């Protein structure tokens, strides 16, 4: 198993290109199931999660060609020959549940294993199922699988999500594009990945209004067509790399970064004293003062502060001047990075969904490991500001969501090496 060694060595200078969004791409790829016509995604990130989704779609009979080194994905469902998403693949990645809505909408039936994924709480899929049921799906949960049928096809419905769910909104949105009549999704997620999916579906001929607000209206159409769509920039990768100079000092330009994708996060950076400016090519982040100030964070659905940046922000708070309270409101078990950061000399107390972080002058390198994607990257960030070496094991979590992370950081002067094992 590979590991990564980070040696803290002062300020960073340079630029980092931001890839297409993993989470957008994982929702866009299953959209191919809605049509026999080809779907081409450009600006796709090259990540193991994308390869997992590729394997899942291929197991259903979808043709997937990864072109230009994987940055272009050409998908076609014209020879689809299965409606069963097997446990063997689904257990690797929770986003696999996103094939359920499109399969059901187009083929009237689907069997999808209940997912696994990151170990960050119970993460049920009840909302996905309830939204599809409202559209007339008949569901049966047996042997760890959702057996779904829509004998006469799905029909439009009004459904209000009892809590905001990104994945359930995506599943319902895709299913509704081919349902008979009008679907109104209330309390829908507003994340940029939802907006990106709606844009792609519209390019395919879907009739959608209101994406990016909490009410999305979809007029079902008979069929969708071919389309080419560029995947939106990854706001979580962007936020992660913006934290690198915030933590290590210096100035880094994140190419392709957009303020509207990370406004709540940038507001927090401003509170800490880190400067963010828009440039022609993206966002530049500069830390000039000696130490950042502590800032409290509450994670919320978009446009609030993203849960997927909480771990990385905690790494910054570990070396801030003062005490920060970080409240996690999306997932109940998302402080797995805290005990690892403690090993590096951080001062953190966790009580339920709240972590209180008192900044220290300096962290110390240590062997650490993490059990989820964002927790892993927070330890790399912490390593940039630590004295000595930080050795991160279980790097496969990192490879799920960050493309060439060691190269990107090295490009700015960081000492980050992958050790093959």
Chain contacts with ligand UD1 (rule: CB under 6 A) = 23, 26, 94-95, 121, 123-128, 163, 165-168, 193, 307-308, 330-331
Backbone angles phi, psi at 233, to 5 degrees: -65, 150
Nearer to ligand UD1, 89 or 127 (CB): 127
Nearer to ligand UD1, 94 or 229 (CB): 94
* E strand or H helix at 111: strand 109-113
Shortest distance (Å) from residue 225 CB to ligand UD1: 25
* HEC profile of 146-174: EEEECCCCCECCEEECCCCCHHHHHHHHH
Shortest distance (Å) from residue 380 CB to ligand UD1: 18
For residue 367 the two structure tokens come to 């062997």
Nearer to ligand UD1, 163 or 419 (CB): 163
Among the options 25, 118, 254, 412, which is catalytic?
A: 118
Question: In whole angstroms, what is the distance from residue 149 CA to residue 139 CA?
Answer: 7
For residue 284 the two structure tokens come to 């530049």
Q: What CA–CA distances, in Å, run from 285 to 247, 257, 262?
A: 11, 11, 13
* E strand or H helix at 182: strand 182-186
Nearer to ligand UD1, 98 or 248 (CB): 98
Shortest distance (Å) from residue 23 CB to ligand UD1: 3
Nearer to ligand UD1, 94 or 268 (CB): 94
Shortest distance (Å) from residue 304 CB to ligand UD1: 10
For residue 343 the two structure tokens come to 């090993």
Beta-bridge mates of residue 113: 145
Distance of CA 80 to the CA centre of its chain: 27
Distance of CA 138 to the CA centre of its chain: 30
Shortest distance (Å) from residue 365 CB to ligand UD1: 28
Shortest distance (Å) from residue 197 CB to ligand UD1: 10
Q: What is the C-alpha R_g of the chain? A: 21
* HEC profile of 302-350: CCCECHHHHHHHHHHHCCCECEEEEECCCCCCCCCHHHHHHHCCCEEEE
Shortest distance (Å) from residue 181 CB to ligand UD1: 24
Nearer to ligand UD1, 166 or 414 (CB): 166
Nearer to ligand UD1, 193 or 406 (CB): 193
Question: In whole angstroms, what is the distance from residue 287 CA to residue 274 CA?
Answer: 5
Question: In whole angstroms, what is the distance from residue 323 CA to residue 330 CA?
Answer: 22
**Which residue lies nearest ligand UD1, judged by its C-beta?**
167
Interhelix angle for 373-384 vs 310-317, to 10°?
20
118 among known catalytic residues: yes
Question: In whole angstroms, what is the distance from residue 91 CA to residue 19 CA?
Answer: 25
**Catalytic site residues?**
118
């Amino acid at each position: 198993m590979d590991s990564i060694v980070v040696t803290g060595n002062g300020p960073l200078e340079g630029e980092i290109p931001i890839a297409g969004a993993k989470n957008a791409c994982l929702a866009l790829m299953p959209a191919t199931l809605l049509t026999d016509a080809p779907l081409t995604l450009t600006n796709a990130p090259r990540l193991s999660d994308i390869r997992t989704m590729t394997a899942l779609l291929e197991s259903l009979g979808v043709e997937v060609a990864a072109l230009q080194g994987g940055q272009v994905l050409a998908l076609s469902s014209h020879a689809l020959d299965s409606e069963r998403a097997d446990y063997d693949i689904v257990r690797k990645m929770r986003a696999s549940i996103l094939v359920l809505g499109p399969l059901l909408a187009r083929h009237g039936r689907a069997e999808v294993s209940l997912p696994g994924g990151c170990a960050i709480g119970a993460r049920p899929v009840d909302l996905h199922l309830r939204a599809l049921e409202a559209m007339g799906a008949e569901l049966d949960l047996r042997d760890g699988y959702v057996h779904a049928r829509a004998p006469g096809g799905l029909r439009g419905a009004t459904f209000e999500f009892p809590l905001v769910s990104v994945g359930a909104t995506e599943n319902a949105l895709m299913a509704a594009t081919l349902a008979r009549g009008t679907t109104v999704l209330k309390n829908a997620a507003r994340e940029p990945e939802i907006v990106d999916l709606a844009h792609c579906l519209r390019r395919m001929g879907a009739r959608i209004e209101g994406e990016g607000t909490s009410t999305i209206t979809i007029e079902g159409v008979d069929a969708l067509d071919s389309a080419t769509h560029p995947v939106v920039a990854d706001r979580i990768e962007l936020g992660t790399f913006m934290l690198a100079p915030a933590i290590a000092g210096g100035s880094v330009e994140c190419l392709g970064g957009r303020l509207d994708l990370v406004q709540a996060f940038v507001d927090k950076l401003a509170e800490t004293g880190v400067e963010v400016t828009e440039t022609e090519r993206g966002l530049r982040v500069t830390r000039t003062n000696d130490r950042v100030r502590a800032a409290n964070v509450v994670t919320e659905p978009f446009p609030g502060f993203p849960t997927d940046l909480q771990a990385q922000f905690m790494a910054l708070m570990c070396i801030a001047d003062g005490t920060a309270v970080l409240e996690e409101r999306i997932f109940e078990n998302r402080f797995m990075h805290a005990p690892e950061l403690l090993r590096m000399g951080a001062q953190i107390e966790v009580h339920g969904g709240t972590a209180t972080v008192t900044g220290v002058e300096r962290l110390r390198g240590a062997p650490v490991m993490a059990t989820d994607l964002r927790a892993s990257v927070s330890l790399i960030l912490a390593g940039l500001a630590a004295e000595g070496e930080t050795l991160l094991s279980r790097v496969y979590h990192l490879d799920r969501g960050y493309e060439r992370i060691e190269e990107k950081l090295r490009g700015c002067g960081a000492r980050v090496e992958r050790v093959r094992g």
